[in-house]
A and B are shown apart, each in its own frame.
Chain A
Amino acid sequence: MIDIVGILADNILTIVLITLGGILISLGVHFVPVGGAPAAMAQATGVGTGTVQLAAGAGLTGLVTAGFMMNVTDNMGLIIASGTIGAMIMISVTMLVGQMMYVYGVGCPPASAKVKYDPITKDRQDLYVSQGTEGHGVPTASYISGIIGGGLGGLGGSMIYYALLSIDNGLPEAKFIGIASIFAVGLFFVNAVIPSYNIGGTIEGFHDPKFKRFPNAVLASFIATFLAAIMGVVAIGGM
């Protein structure tokens, strides 16, 4: 018989860390500038792919670097920082090469249709938006926003992974790592999907009006991750 109450009582901090990680992922996804299908035709500002896809791609790359770091050190700060930086490298490389596509392959300058001036560089935007489009490419504000978003995703993902690996159980190490990493990936997807209801296909980054909707998604992620964390802790702790 599994002592559910005992396991939960022993792992309260783990549940808190997992929930916090989920909230960070959910917040981070709002920062990532995605344009969905229209961006692939240079019809909308941002990267030409889906919200969940890009956020998951970056965050999971962070999870790979965090997993490697965790293998060689117990320093929590270092593990979480490596997850963050791994995700930031992935997303900044992707956005840079995407930018090259828009500039050299399609021949249009990066421009935002949501703001008149770029909030970071103060460059005029509306004049550089071609006819019949909602902007194109990745202007500097969106680029920096994307890096922050990728970083938050990597931070949240690696925090969940670290917390899961601190649960006491009777599993051999290899199986424990396998289960913890799959659970971390699963929670990542849960929290990458929830914000996409807010984003609805396209968002340019922190300067986009849709960004202000993030508290709803954060609340939803808090509830979903908290419940998932309880299930995960009981499942892994009871093995």
Chain B
Amino acid sequence: MEPLTGMGVLALMGAAATIAGASEDLESDVGSQSNPNSQVQLAPQMMYPHRIYNKAISGEPPSNALICAIGGTVATVLMVTGAAAILALIVGSFVAMLVHGTYSVTPYIGRSASQKRFKQPIYLDIIRSHTPVIMGFAFITTFCILVISYLMISALGHPFPLPLLAFIWGIAIGAIGSSTGDVHYGAEREFQNFEFGSGLNAANSGNIVRKAESGIRNGIDNSWFCAKFGGPATGLAFGMVVFLSGWITVVFDPSISDTLGWEAIIAGVVIVLILIAFNRKIEVDARKRYGPYKVDDEEVGA
């Protein structure tokens, strides 16, 4: 393939991945999924009933892998029957969105009902207002993942079938969203009532913020806050993964010669080394800027 065409396709994939990452994280913030949801689940038991959507379908990677694989399967079946690719991808994402909507409502009702003894109500208006938002984000995520997978197969000649590639990217985007954006929701947004600049003291577990900027806080308020940092950062991470892992083989095309293939590997190693240096710089800056929490007893004693 022409290197310029390859770069164009890769840029499109990177853009789709960035959008997918952001929408995946915001979807998990509206519905409260994955690890931070442990606190939402715990809150009523600590006598803090709340109006936050409580959706833990599963860990984010399996849940996103499921919707992406459903979307990919439906799209593949439609394409085999002769449908245009863009139509097939949209219909596939739509079906995945419906499945995700079903899976979102059942855990909210089930989990809230199981907490009746802690006086946690089931808010029907929360189901009505949040579920369409969750479904909308799920549609965007699935569609972008399907676009990435389809481009990899049709333009870059990847040998994996579409549903499997969508499944793998679904696992990857869930792992990234759960590792990056969720920290902003779990460690900061849920506990804004404690002083900024430290991890959550285990003694404060379950004491989540229940009042919003106006009124009582719900999942949409959380996504509003996380859209300022957690969501875009997740998009950045997934975009970088898709772009960088493809970039090395598009620039140093191994189909021309094995030497170029080894150059691609070397380019990958250089990228990893740069990321290690970047991480170290952030660590040193943070330690210098924030300082230690405790005084060194040995120095004080001396």
Residues of A within 8 A of B (CB): 36-37, 39-43, 47-50, 53-54, 56-58, 60-61, 63-65, 67-73, 75, 78, 81-82, 85-86, 88-90, 92-110, 121, 123-124, 126-133, 135-140, 143-144, 147, 174, 177-178, 181-182, 185
Query: Given the known A-B contacts A36-B35, A85-B248, A103-B286, are A50 and B59 also in contact in the complex, defined by CB atoms under 8 Å?
Result: yes
- For A101, what are the chain B residues with a Cβ–Cβ distance below 8 Å? 180-181, 183-184, 187, 229-230, 233
A-B CB contact pairs (8 Å), 19 listed: A37-B35, A41-B36, A50-B178, A57-B176, A85-B248, A89-B268, A90-B172, A90-B245, A92-B275, A92-B276, A94-B180, A98-B183, A101-B229, A104-B229, A105-B233, A107-B197, A123-B287, A132-B201, A182-B164
B179 contacts A48, CB within 8 Å?
A: yes
A93 contacts B244, CB within 8 Å?
A: yes
Of A60, A95, A139, which is in contact with the most chain B CB atoms at under 10 Å from its CB? Answer: A60
Q: Which residues of B from 158 to 202 have beta carbons under 8 Å from A?
A: 158-161, 164-165, 167-169, 171-172, 174-176, 178-184, 186-188, 190-191, 196-202
* Other contacts beyond A92-B279, A101-B181: 13, CB < 8 A: A41-B187, A64-B165, A64-B169, A96-B282, A97-B180, A101-B187, A105-B187, A109-B287, A127-B296, A130-B201, A133-B201, A143-B280, A185-B168
Which A-chain residue is minimally distant from B262 (CB atoms)? A78
A78 contacts B254, CB within 8 Å?
A: yes
Distance, CA A92 to CA B272, complexed state (A): 7
* B57 interface contact, C-beta 8 A: no
A129 contacts B293, CB within 8 Å?
A: yes
A140 contacts B279, CB within 8 Å?
A: yes
Instruction: Name the distance in Å between A5's Cβ and chain B's nearest Cβ.
Output: 31
Q: What 3 pairs across the A-B complex have the smallest Cβ distances?
A: A57-B175, A132-B201, A42-B199
B176 contacts A56, CB within 8 Å?
A: no
Distance, CA A124 to CA B184, complexed state (A): 26
- For B265, what are the chain A residues with a Cβ–Cβ distance below 8 Å? 78, 81-82, 85
B271 contacts A130, CB within 8 Å?
A: no
Instruction: Name the distance in Å between B207's Cβ and chain A's nearest Cβ.
Output: 11
Instruction: Name the distance in Å between A90's Cβ and chain B's nearest Cβ.
Output: 5
B196 contacts A107, CB within 8 Å?
A: yes
Instruction: Name the distance in Å between A92's Cβ and chain B's nearest Cβ.
Output: 4
B interface majority secondary structure = helix
The 8 A CB mask of B134-159 against A (1 = contact, 0 = none) is 00000000000000000010001111
Interface size (B, Cβ < 8 Å)? 87
* B117 interface contact, C-beta 8 A: no
B261 contacts A98, CB within 8 Å?
A: no
Q: Which of A105, A108, A138 contacts B279 (CB 8 A)?
A: A138
Distance, CA A167 to CA B110, complexed state (A): 47
* B240 interface contact, C-beta 8 A: yes
Distance, CA A115 to CA B240, complexed state (A): 32
A97 contacts B199, CB within 8 Å?
A: no
Instruction: Name the distance in Å between A236's Cβ and chain B's nearest Cβ.
Output: 16
B200 contacts A178, CB within 8 Å?
A: no
Instruction: Name the distance in Å between A34's Cβ and chain B's nearest Cβ.
Output: 9
A105 contacts B296, CB within 8 Å?
A: no
Instruction: Name the distance in Å between A4's Cβ and chain B's nearest Cβ.
Output: 27
Of B254, B271, B283, B287, which is in contact with the most chain A CB atoms at under 10 Å from its CB? Answer: B283
Query: Given the known A-B contacts A53-B61, A98-B183, A178-B160, are A41 and B176 also in contact in the complex, defined by CB atoms under 8 Å?
Result: no
